[in-house]
C-alpha cells in the first residue's frame, strides 16, 4: 500500500476524518539540506509551521561556501532548539491540521551531513546515507524535492554512493528526483552532479530570486510591501505571544547601521525552496515556468531552470549560478533598487508579487501555535466547476466558475480572475468579464494564428484576520 492510501485509511480508522483533496493528491515529498546560517534558522521556523503541507523525509545539516566546521559554524546541533520548540507547540498545531508530523518523527529524520569543509563530499555521513536510503526506497515512486539551502555537497555525496554501490538504480532514482537550490553554494553541482547525473535530465531549479526575501529585501521589495516586513508587523504577528517556536525567530536586533529597525524581518533567503512546494492552487510544481509563491524560472540548459533575466540578448554563464554570477546579485552590488530600476523590479517580481499573501499566511500559521481553531484563520479552499486545462479555438468564449469554493471559518470571500501574462505565450490583451465575481468569462482572441497558451488565475481572499488567499490556475491552449 502506498503512503497516500495508507494515510487515508489510518485517518478513517482513527475517526479523525480526512481531507478529500489530500487523499486525491499526494502531499509533496521533501528533503531539506541546510548550512545553518542565520537566515536558515529563520527559514526553519517558517518551514516547521508548514510541516503539515509535505511528506518530510529528511532534514540534513550540510555545509556551504559560507559555513562549515570552523568557519562561522552554527554548531552541529543548531537544529535542536527548533525541534524542541516544535514539540512544545505541536499539541496546538494539530488542532488546526491533523497532518502535522509528530516531533518524534521529525527528530528521527534529522541528520548531520557533510560539514567539514566547503564542498566536501568524500566522507559518507549519516545525512548522506539517509538521503541514499530514501532515494533507493521503491515503496514510494512519487517525486521527491531535495532542497539545498546551503551547498549541494551532501546531496552530491549521496548520489555518488548510489552511483558507486547501486549503478543499476541511477535511472530509477533520477526519475523521481527534483532539485531546488538556493544558488550553487559550493561547486559540487558543477563538478559532480551535472557531469554524472545530467544525462537523466533531472528537473532542477537554481534560484537567485530568493534575494527578494533575503538580507537585502529593502532594496528589492517595492515600498507597498515593506509594511509586511517591518518590525511593528513582525512583533505583532510573529515575535510576540506566538509561542516558543516563533520566539526563536532571529529578527533584527540592532540593524540601524544597515537601515533596519528593531524587530524588522531579517532574511529567509532559503524559504523559496520550500515555499515553492506549498500547495496553494497555483500548480507551480507542475512547471517552474508557470510561477508561484517560490518564484518563476525559465529553461536555460538541459533540464535546468534559472531566473528570467529581463535584458535583451543576455547570455547565462556556463557554470555556477551564485553570488559571483547571478544577475540579480551582481545588479544589487551596483546599487539598483526596485524603485529606480525597472529591469531590477521585474527580475524579482515573480516572488515579491506574492509578498502580502505570503506574509499573511505566515502570520496565520503563527497563530496556530497558540490559538484554538475557532479563534484563528484558515485559508479558503478554491474549487472550480470548469476544467483546469482547456483547449479552445480563437474567437470562442471561455466560461469560468469558482462555485464550490468555501472557507473553513465561514468567512466572506472575494474573487479576482486575472491573467498571469508572464506565464503564458500569448502576450496580447485579454478582457475578463465579471472578473470580481464567482462566475467570469473571456473571449479567446481571434488574432491568435498559431498555438498559444493563456494562464488565468482565480484568486480568492477571505475577510478574516489575517486575510488569507488561495488560488486555482486555468490554462487555455488556443489553437485552430
CA 314, 323, 303: angle at the middle one, nearest 5? 60
pLDDT band, very low/low/confident/very high, at 3 (cuts 50, 70, 90): very low
- Residue 180 pLDDT greater than 60, yes or no: yes
- Cell numbers at 99, concatenated: 497532518
Q: Cβ of 269: how many Cβ atoms within 10 Å?
A: 25
pLDDT band, very low/low/confident/very high, at 1 (cuts 50, 70, 90): very low
CATH superfamily of 378-478: Immunoglobulins (2.60.40.10)
Q: What is the pLDDT of residue 2?
A: 44
- DSSP tag of 466: S
The region, left, alpha or beta by phi > 0 then psi within -120 to 50, assigned to residue 391 is: beta
Burial class (CB in 10 A: 0-12, 13-18, 19+), 24: exposed
At residue 6, φ and ψ (nearest 5 deg) are -60, -45
Q: What is the pLDDT of residue 480?
A: 83
pLDDT band, very low/low/confident/very high, at 8 (cuts 50, 70, 90): very low
Q: What is the pLDDT of residue 13?
A: 30
Residue 338 near residue 224 (C-beta atoms within 8 A): no
HEC readout, 175-220? HHEEEEEECCCCCHHHHHHHHHHHHHCCEEEEECHHHHHCCCHHHH
Per-residue pLDDT of 385-412, as tens digits, reads 999 999 999 999 999 999 999 999 999 9
Mean pLDDT of the chain: 94
Residues 25-37, mean pLDDT to the nearest whole number: 94
- Cell numbers at 315, concatenated: 547570455
Residues 188-206, mean pLDDT to the nearest whole number: 98
Could you give the CA distance from residue 372 to residue 409 in angstroms, rounded to a whole number?
12
Per-residue pLDDT of 300-311, as tens digits, reads 999 999 999 999
Q: What is the pLDDT of residue 5?
A: 40
**Nearest of 457, 260, 314, 104 to residue 251 by alpha carbon:** 260
Per-residue pLDDT of 238-296, as tens digits, reads 999 999 999 999 999 977 767 899 999 999 999 999 999 999 999 999 999 999 999 99
In angstroms, what CA-CA distances link 117 with 11, 38, 39, 71, 249? 44, 18, 20, 9, 27
Residues 144-163, mean pLDDT to the nearest whole number: 98
Per-residue pLDDT of 209-240, as tens digits, reads 999 999 999 999 999 999 999 999 999 999 99
Q: What is the pLDDT of residue 7?
A: 40
Burial class (CB in 10 A: 0-12, 13-18, 19+), 339: exposed
Residue 444 near residue 431 (C-beta atoms within 8 A): no
- 3-286: CATH topology is Inosine-uridine Nucleoside N-ribohydrolase; Chain A (3.90.245)
Name which of 5-14, 167-176, 432-441 the model is least confident about. 5-14
DSSP three-state, residue 305: strand
DSSP three-state, residue 447: coil
- Cell numbers at 58, concatenated: 529528511
pLDDT band, very low/low/confident/very high, at 6 (cuts 50, 70, 90): very low
Task: Return all residues near 208 (Cβ < 8 A) that are at least 6 apart.
Answer: 183, 306, 307, 321, 326, 327, 328, 329
Residues 97-121, mean pLDDT to the nearest whole number: 98
HSE-up (13 A, CA, CB side) for residue 202? 27
- Residue 84 pLDDT greater than 90, yes or no: yes
Q: What is the pLDDT of residue 23?
A: 42
- Residue 10 pLDDT greater than 50, yes or no: no
DSSP three-state, residue 351: helix
Residue 92 near residue 243 (C-beta atoms within 8 A): yes
Could you give the CA distance from residue 62 to residue 157 in angstroms, rounded to a whole number?
11
Q: How many Å separate Cα 58 from the centre of its chain?
A: 16
At residue 120, φ and ψ (nearest 5 deg) are -65, 125
In the chain, which segments carry CATH 2.60.40.10? 378-478
Q: What is the pLDDT of residue 15?
A: 29
Q: What global pTM score does this model have? A: 0.94
Q: What is the pLDDT of residue 256?
A: 76
- Helix spans in 3-125 (H): 3-13, 20-24, 38-49, 80-93, 103-108
Cell numbers 549541494 correspond to 152
pLDDT band, very low/low/confident/very high, at 43 (cuts 50, 70, 90): very high
**Nearest of 181, 72, 161 to residue 113 by alpha carbon:** 161
In the chain, which segments carry CATH 3.90.245.10? 3-286
Q: What is the pLDDT of residue 351?
A: 98
Name which of 74-78, 144-148, 295-299, 447-451 the model is least confident about. 447-451
CA 31, 193, 171: angle at the middle one, nearest 5? 75
pLDDT band, very low/low/confident/very high, at 14 (cuts 50, 70, 90): very low
Residues 454-461, mean pLDDT to the nearest whole number: 98
Q: Percent of the chain having pLDDT more than 70? A: 95
In angstroms, what CA-CA distances link 169 with 158, 162, 438? 13, 7, 49
- DSSP tag of 422: G
pLDDT band, very low/low/confident/very high, at 449 (cuts 50, 70, 90): confident
Q: What is the pLDDT of residue 254?
A: 77
Could you give the CA distance from residue 232 to residue 250 in angstroms, rounded to a whole number?
15
Could you give the CA distance from residue 480 to residue 445 in angstroms, rounded to a whole number?
12
**Which helix (H) or strand (E) element contains residue 367?**
helix 355-368
Q: What is the pLDDT of residue 259?
A: 86
**Longest pairwise C-alpha distance within the chain:** 65
Amino acid at each position: 500500500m502506498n503512503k497516500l492510501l495508507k494515510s487515508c485509511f489510518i485517518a478513517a480508522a482513527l475517526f479523525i476524518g480526512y481531507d478529500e483533496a489530500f487523499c486525491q493528491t499526494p502531499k509533496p515529498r521533501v528533503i531539506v539540506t541546510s548550512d545553518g546560517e542565520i537566515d536558515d534558522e529563520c527559514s526553519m521556523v517558517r518551514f516547521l509551521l508548514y510541516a503539515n503541507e509535505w511528506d518530510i523525509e529528511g532534514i540534513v545539516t550540510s555545509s556551504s561556501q559560507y559555513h562549515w566546521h570552523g568557519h562561522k559554524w552554527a554548531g552541529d546541533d543548531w537544529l535542536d532548539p527548533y525541534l524542541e520548540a516544535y514539540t512544545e507547540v505541536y499539541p496546538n498545531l494539530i488542532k488546526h491540521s491533523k497532518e502535522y508530523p509528530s516531533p518524534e518523527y521529525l527528530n528521527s529524520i534529522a541528520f548531520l551531513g557533510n560539514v567539514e569543509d566547503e564542498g566536501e563530499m568524500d566522507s559518507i555521513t549519516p545525512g548522506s546515507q539517509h538521503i541514499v536510503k530514501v532515494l533507493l526506497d521503491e515503496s514510494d515512486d512519487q517525486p521527491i524535492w531535495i532542497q539545498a539551502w546551503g551547498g549541494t555537497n551532501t546531496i552530491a555525496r549521496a548520489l555518488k554512493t548510489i552511483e558507486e554501490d547501486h549503478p543499476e538504480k541511477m535511472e530509477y532514482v533520477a526519475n523521481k528526483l527534483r532539485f531546488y537550490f538556493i544558488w550553487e553554494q559550493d561547486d559540487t553541482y558543477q563538478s559532480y552532479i551535472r557531469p554524472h547525473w545530467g544525462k537523466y535530465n533531472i528537473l532542477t531549479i537554481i534560484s537567485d530570486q530568493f534575494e527578494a526575501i533575503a538580507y537585502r529585501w529593502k532594496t528589492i521589495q517595492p515600498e507597498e510591501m515593506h509594511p509586511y516586513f517591518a518590525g511593528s508587523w513582525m512583533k505583532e504577528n510573529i515575535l510576540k505571544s506566538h509561542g516558543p517556536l516563533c520566539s526563536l525567530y532571529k529578527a533584527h536586533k540592532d540593524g540601524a547601521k544597515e537601515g533596519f529597525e528593531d524587530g524588522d524581518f531579517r532574511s529567509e533567503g532559503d524559504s523559496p525552496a520550500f515555499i515553492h512546494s506549498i500547495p496553494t492552487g497555483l500548480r507551480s510544481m507542475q512547471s517552474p515556468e508557470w510561477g508561484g509563491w517560490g518564484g518563476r524560472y525559465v529553461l536555460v540548459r538541459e533540464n535546468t531552470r534559472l531566473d528570467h533575466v529581463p535584458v535583451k540578448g543576455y547570455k547565462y554563464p556556463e557554470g555556477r549560478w551564485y553570488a559571483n554570477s547571478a544577475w540579480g546579485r551582481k545588479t544589487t552590488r551596483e546599487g539598483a533598487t526596485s524603485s529606480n530600476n525597472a529591469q531590477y523590479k521585474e527580475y524579482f517580481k515573480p516572488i515579491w508579487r506574492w509578498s502580502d499573501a505570503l506574509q499573511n499566511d505566515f502570520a496565520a500559521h503563527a497563530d496556530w501555535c497558540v490559538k484554538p481553531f475557532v479563534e484563528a484563520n484558515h485559508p479558503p479552499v478554491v474549487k472550480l466547476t470548469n476544467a483546469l486545462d482547456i483547449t479552445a479555438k480563437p474567437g470562442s468564449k471561455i466560461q469560468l466558475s469558482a462555485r464550490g469554493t468555501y472557507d473553513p471559518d465561514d468567512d466572506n470571500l472575494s474573487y479576482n480572475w486575472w491573467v498571469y501574462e508572464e506565464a503564458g505565450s500569448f502576450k496580447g490583451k485579454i478582457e475578463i468579464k465579471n472578473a470580481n465575481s464567482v462566475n467570469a468569462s473571456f473571449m479567446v482572441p481571434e488574432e491568435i494564428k498559431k498555438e498559444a497558451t493563456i494562464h488565468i488565475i482565480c484568486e480568492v481572499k477571505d475577510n478574516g484576520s489575517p486575510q488569507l488567499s488561495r488560488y486555482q490556475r486555468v490554462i487555455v491552449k488556443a489553437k485552430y
